[in-house]
Amino acid sequence: MSGTELRRKIGTEKLAKLFNRFGDKLREKGLVSNVFTFVDASKMISKLSLWDERDKAIADGEEKLNNKNIDKYSRDKDADYGCKGNSEY
């Protein structure tokens, strides 16, 4: 089973619950904290589509999906990867 198939079988709601529980456990242990949450809706894309696009790029021999090749694979032709700082992608 590929990663894409697994993500489709689990579904977004179950994945969200899993990640939220994981974050809750990390907070309970004092390993992380929530200072604030920031959401930029203009950058929100379907994660399932992104994974499909990444898998296609890799299947075509690309090392990874990045700004150099995203225009060949993305359904959103304006899609781009961003950077908060010098190394926080």
pLDDT, tens digit (0-9, with 9 covering 90-100), for 25-74: 988 998 887 766 655 555 555 666 778 888 999 999 999 988 788 888 87
pLDDT at 86: 65
* Domain containing residue 75: 38-89
Regarding whether 83 and 67 lie in a shared domain, the answer is: yes
User: Token pair of 18, please?
Assistant: 């899993």
CB 65 within 8 A of CB 76: no
Number of domains in the chain: 2
- Global pTM value: 0.38
* Same domain for 46 and 84: yes
Domain co-membership, 18 together with 52:
no
Res 62: pLDDT: 94
Amino acid 1: pLDDT: 66
Do residues 54 and 86 both lie within one domain?
A: yes
* Residue 82: band (very low, low, confident or very high) from pLDDT cuts 50, 70, 90: low
CA-to-CA distance for 78 and 33, rounded, in angstroms? 33
Residues 29 and 46 in one domain: no
